[in-house]
Structure 1
């Protein structure tokens, strides 16, 4: 199997090419963003199509990259159908970056690969859209922030609630003061699945084998293992590649609460849970989690997730002295006035509010809007909805929860110095 090319090897052998401006830059043409795309699995394979839809006429998929060759071949056909021209294909991401005509890259790989891929793209002069979580560790985030600042390139992180009209409306309601004093928020994500289809046990293609799966490139900086289909296709279950619930689900929701309330960091985290639902396989990350986040200004987030009950699905709730704001399923927003015994009439008499994102705001899932925001930032310098620092701050909450869970200790965060310590 071919040797993986590290970011450092790529940079050292092609520093001159990396520093050169793209030959067909979007800024020069004013009409097109030539993209490269790496990671064509569950989310990347879906949203490369979304990108071509929302960027029709302005985005051209110049190249795609994946380390599973049958998936790469299928995506090539899918892209060719959408844009009527086949993209170039690579199993070597760093080789793809040598194409100077590529203006921007979308990175949809497992999170342990993000840092090296992001920094290499920035050093090659590309704008970057990186799926969340931004990084696999807190420390990697600071490396990326430095690289983004040095590059001057546009950088969007895929916490797409930042582009959701429903959450923007929630922020307006929160800032109006109608909720009163808010010191507590609750977020949750509950899932269920058949015993024959355990959570995160994504389907392994029947034709997957070492000859068509570049396992070494998948491993990247992770510890060496022999070829393992479960680790490759079901990577979210293993600590070497994933932070589990904390970095897949929790970061979306703590970031949404940050967006609504104007916060960006907590001061301490506790996190407990375990593998309580799917106890018969080799997964390492928990399927049940409860976390508590304390903030410097008398604010608390309670977070919970479980993978054996879906009754309440997922959502966020902000609970104030005068009312409760609730967002459910990324679709519906509700506001309920407080009606406790002795509540002032001017509070208890307020009408309840219900806003449906699609019906009332004309927006379904906001991922398309988030991708479009990235394109507009490149073409017209539109402000990014989730820049590198915002994405880093979102990832920190998830990483702190993972650290607290794995060490079984409360963890404290020093925002000023970017450091954590355990109780």
Structure 2
């Protein structure tokens, strides 16, 4: 069965990841593309031999598609995802999945009501070093986990986004959130994945102190506490102007893990008994390394649909990671620690 595929939004993330990875997947056929900028849709349509639209509602009326990728500004994620689910398609939505908990819950409800898959494109769970780190943590060989630091920063989306300095990334009414939504939510999802725990408390310092003329954050540092008492920091920045940092370090009773923190090894495991194990698991893909054309996200989504299996990052998982950055924003505005405990 070949899955008929539509991509809504033909900007950089679609051009460098979704379109390329769908084309490389033998189980999918790119049937339609849509972008409010007619020329952008036309170029994508020509390259991938797909029908072109500037109105996603018209696309859903005229095309019967099996799966849809939502590659739009953040404020449109929820509404267009729900429209696609209501039209009978499975949905892969870019991160952050929504701009509020309520939007996320409506997306989840729409997926469940229509019997369709909803996946959020948190690609960091598919990085080999991250998967190996999770395996080591789960094995118990590190003993008790004490703390962590995780960081994602680069010079900003202006050199990557199709609209450059005029990108929606910098506009609060379209992006809702800046570096925290672009990068921080990835690390929130990643640290939940590696540790296998949820977080209960969040303190955030969220600033716009590096870029003039933007209305969202460009620097943020969060402090997190997990349900078992693991403490850590999460940093997200559009002001790392010399090089990208996408590292995570885990500190534990019997050793530490340095993940994407060494120039030669994607994972370094150091133990208190003196043992050091260096893992060469391949370079993490980034904007700087020439795009993200083999992330595993699309392949996993397609496999989940074909096998009728729950995606690794379903709507519930996406919502939990979203709630961390929402709490960080709230903390930054109020100066108070935010609780994620339910009830």
SS in 1 for 2:256: strand
Larger radius of gyration: 1
2:210 counterpart of 1:240: no
Q: Is the contact made by 2:268 and 2:277 (CA closer than 8 Å) also made in structure 1?
A: yes
- Could you list the per-position Cα deviations for residues 108-129 of structure 1 after superposition, in whole angstroms to 9, with x for gaps in the alignment? 1011101111111111111111
Q: Report the equivalent of 2:250.
A: 318
Instruction: Report how far residue 365 of structure 1 moved.
Output: 5.7
CA–CA distance in structure 1, aligned partners of residues 43 and 200 of structure 2: 46
Distance 1:354 1:283 in 2: 41
Q: Deviations over 1:18-52 (max 9, x none)?
A: xxxxxxxxxxxxx2000111011111122233223
Does 1:384 find its partner at 2:311? yes
Report if aligned partners of 1:190, 1:310 keep a CA contact under 8 Å in 2.
no
Q: Which of 80, 84, 87 is matched with 1:117 structurally? A: 80
Distance 1:203 1:355, change over 3 A: closer
Residue 57 of structure 2: aligned partner: 94
Q: TM-score, normalised by structure 1?
A: 0.73
The 3-state SS of whatever aligns with 2:215 is coil
How many residues align structurally? 332
Match of 1:276 among 209, 222, 229: 209
What does residue range 148-297 of structure 1 map to in structure 2 within 5 Å?
148-192=111-155, 199-202=156-159, 233-242=166-175, 243-263=177-197, 265-278=198-211, 281-297=212-228
Contact 2:158–2:167 (CA<8 Å) still a contact in 1?
Answer: yes
Given candidates 256, 259, 271, the residue that maps to 1:327 is 259
Gaps of 5+ in 2: 284-290
The aligned residue for residue 301 of structure 2 is 374
Note closer, same or farther for the CA distance 1:252–1:333 as it changes in structure 2 (3 Å cut): same
Contact 2:16–2:293 (8 Å) recurs in 1: no
Structure 1 unpaired stretches of 5+: 1-30, 80-85, 193-198, 209-228, 339-347, 418-423
The equivalent of 1:69 in structure 2 is 38
**For residues 157 and 308 of structure 1, do their structure 2 counterparts lie closer, same or farther at Cα, with a shift above 3 Å needed?**
closer
Paired residue secondary structure (1:277): coil
1:397 pairs with 2:324: yes
> Following TM superposition, by how much is the alpha carbon of 1:367 offset from its aligned partner in structure 2, in angstroms?
5.0
3-state SS of paired residue (1:97): helix
Q: CA RMSD in A?
A: 2.5
Where 2:4 maps in the other structure, the secondary structure is: strand
Preserved contact between residue 163 and residue 367 of structure 1 (Cα < 8 Å): no
1:74 is displaced (CA, Å) by 1.4
Secondary structure at 1:357's aligned position in 2? coil
Deviation string 1:162-214 (CA, Å, 9 cap, x unpaired) is 2233222111111122222112111112324xxxxxx3335897xx9xxxxxx
Secondary structure, aligned partner of 1:201: helix
Show the counterpart of 2:287: none
Q: Secondary structure at the match of 1:314?
A: coil
Distance in 1 of aligned mates of 2:244 and 2:16: 26
Question: Residue 7 of structure 1 aligns with which residue?
Answer: none
| Inter-CA distance 268–290: structure 2 relative to 1 (3 Å threshold) | same
Q: Deviations over 1:340-364 (max 9, x none)?
A: xxxxxxxx23x211212238xxxx9
Cα displacement (A) at 1:135: 0.6
In the other structure, the counterpart of 1:105 is 68
Match of 2:17 among 42, 47, 50: 47
Is 300-309 or 167-176 further displaced after alignment?
Answer: 300-309
Query: CA–CA distance in 2 between the matches of 1:381 and 1:70?
Result: 36
Task: Find the residue that maps to 2:173 and give its secondary structure.
Answer: coil
Moved more, 378-387 or 99-108: 378-387
C-alpha contact (below 8 Å) 1:38/1:66 kept by paired residues: yes
**CA–CA distance in structure 2, aligned partners of residues 239 and 54 of structure 1:** 35
Q: Per the alignment, do residues 333 and 365 of structure 1 end up closer, same or farther by CA in structure 2, a change over 3 Å counting? A: farther
Residue in 1 aligned with 2:288? none
